[in-house]
Structure 1
Amino acid sequence: DEVRPGILSSTFHFPEIMLNVITSDVHDSEALCPEYKVVSCRIRKARKGHLRKAGEVVEKEM
């Protein structure tokens, strides 16, 4: 299985991933699950000096 170009995919099973930080506050009112399937995003190449190491967690960046 591969992710098609233009599609962003991530696991949300593991709490340490903290995917809720970058998704919206919208959730299913009955299941109380966040809305993962229709979250818009913009990805850009990090500028030099802003690169993160694999596994590094950034709690909040201003």
Structure 2
Amino acid sequence: MTARLVSTGDAARELGIHRETLRAWWRAGLVTPASETAGGHARWDVDQLKRDLRALQQRDA
């Protein structure tokens, strides 16, 4: 099954956060997009992003 990749804004909307928050997490190295476009725009696999965030929460708990 192929992952559905979405923009930073769409991924943030699905998570219920502001897109700048997601960008800040990316810049801090907390999360990594599934891919980047030639223009440097992130594309996110939201399911993987949610798993990554859960792992971060468990690590920090």
TM-score normalised per structure 1: 0.35
Higher share of residues assigned strand? 2
Question: Whose Rg is larger?
Answer: 1
Relative contact order: is structure 1 or structure 2 higher (C-alpha 8 Å, sep ≥ 6)? 2
Structure 2 length normalisation: TM-score? 0.35
